[in-house]
Amino acid sequence: MSPQPRALVALNVISLILLGAAYYASLVYAPLEAVMGQVQRLFYFHVATAWVGMIGFVLAAVAGVIYLWKKDLKWDAVSLAAVEISLIFFFIAIVLGSIWARPIWGTWWTWEPRLTTAAILQMIYMAYLLLRQGIEDPEKRARFGAVYTLLGGISVPITFISIRIFRTIHPVVIGTGSAEAQGGFNMTPLMLQTMFFSIFVFSVIFVTIFWHRMRMASLENRVEQLKLKVLQ
Amino acid sequence: MSEPIVPKTEVASRPAENYFGAVMAVAWKDLAAELRSRELLSAMLIFSLLVILIFNFALQLDRGTRESVTAGVLWATFAFAGTLGLNRSMAIEKDRGCLDGLLLAPVDRSAIYFGKALSNLAFMLIVEAIVLPVYFILYNPKNFFNPGFLGVILLGSIGYVAVGTLLSTMAVQARTRDVLLPILLFPLVIPVLVSAVQASMGFLSEWPLEEIIPWLNLLLVYDVIFITAAFLFFDYVVEE
């Protein structure tokens, strides 16, 4: 196995340092929110992980389109890597949100548009992984995967709208929220800085993990080819 | 001596005729086969009656509960019975090598999709046409046979079958096909189920029309979008 390229090693270190800085920013640097108290500090990581999760799903669908167009298995690897990483980050976002919601909304979970859509999104991409598992031919697996990510990408916004027609209590911190939203707050400049810094940090972490995952994909590919060679 | 030249317009018009003919041929083949064997319809039908039976005891469908859950019970029944039909109708094609035969036919592949979707829709509507009167006799709900409610059932079934046919074509080609279809299908048809249940409830409990319209619009939009998507993607799903 070829050693990790210098840039990747540097990125590993930078990610680690940035993650530490993000902890410091959200736990110490950002001011205490007056009404909700310490639990509000979860917000910075919640938004950042949800952001990265969303980016990953969009990336997966875009890579799916490019795969169907170019038929290059490299794009399938991009799609798969993006989905796998996004599933984890999105899961973290949901868990953090739940921990926050328990004292603020008084419940771990509520069937509200964003929460419900998030859960359905997770289901869709888990189904995507199951679909891939059931197909041996790499080319067919890539095609079906691409079609499914696209169908998922089309259906998720419609799901969101369909549940939105019911009311929402999820706070909308940026832009205008609905009147029934609970747990919203106005951000001070320090809070805003912390939020954007966290989003930046998690974007860098995403790139780092993504790079590792792509290297792993090419290794898997080589293993498969070596296996075929031995069989021949 | 020149050979007779076939007029261009005639050549150009043939594929269009063939296309519709091919769609109908595929759909008719399924219906004719089903008419002789009655495997699929009887399985779907008995299954849906069993689901209603289970709901009866699970939810204690007495008079009070019934009014609020009728739409939900019916759509859950159709959704479950639908996967049974979709899976089987595609599995038959795959197992007996019919799919390869169909793909060799010199027609646009989307014609095969529309033919299969049409026959799947027909099966679903037949099952619904039997389940609804049975439900009516068992529970005597109000406003049951009004055109709005029946329209919602048609729109919802179209959306369900449009996605279901595409996904079942993928699912039968996978190793884990028996369990795969519901897992692939249900997260994608949530909008259909949400809006169909709401619109059905609206018609059954006589909501004002402006409260039902958004759900009907959503159903229509979903149907149009997913029929188009299936039309675009079907080629990728059957390519060898």
CB atoms within 10 A of CB B231: 17
Please state the pTM of the whole predicted model.
0.85
* Helices and strands: H and E segment counts in chain A: 6, 0
Single out the residue of B129, B19, B33 nearest to residue B74, CA to CA.
B129
- Can you tell me the mean pLDDT for B195-205? 89
**CB-based contact, A225 to chain B, within 8 Å:** no
Contacts of B191 in chain A (CB under 8 A): 155, 158-159, 161-162
pLDDT of residue A178: 52
User: H-helix or E-strand containing B112?
Assistant: helix B109-139
Quick check: B233 and A151 CB within 8 A? yes
**CB-based contact, A137 to chain B, within 8 Å:** no
ipTM score of complex: 0.85
Q: What is the 3-state secondary structure (H, E, C) of B66-99?
A: HHHHHHHHHHHHHHHHHHHHHHHHHHHHHHCCHH
Quick check: B225 and A152 CB within 8 A? no
- Can you tell me the mean pLDDT for B107-115? 89
Convert the pLDDT of each residue in A134-165 to its tens digit. 898 888 999 999 999 999 988 888 888 887 77
Contacts of A123 in chain B (CB under 8 A): 186-187
pLDDT of residue B59: 84
A96 vs B143: CA distance, rounded Å: 46
Contacts of B184 in chain A (CB under 8 A): 127, 130-131, 148
Contacts of B233 in chain A (CB under 8 A): 147, 150-151
Closest CB from B174, B218, B226 relative to A134 = B174
Mean of per-residue pLDDT scores for chain A: 86
Convert the pLDDT of each residue in A83-98 to its tens digit. 999 999 999 999 999 9
DSSP A31-92: PPBTTTBGGGGHHHHHHHHHHHHHHHHHHHHHHHHHHHHH--HHHHHHHHHHHHHHHHHHHH
pLDDT confidence bin for B93, thresholds 50/70/90: confident
Rounded to the nearest angstrom, the minimum Cα separation between B117 and chain A is: 17
Convert the pLDDT of each residue in B158-193 to its tens digit. 999 999 999 999 999 898 887 899 999 999 999 999
- Can you tell me the mean pLDDT for B189-214? 88
CB atoms within 10 A of CB B3: 5
pLDDT confidence bin for B8, thresholds 50/70/90: very low
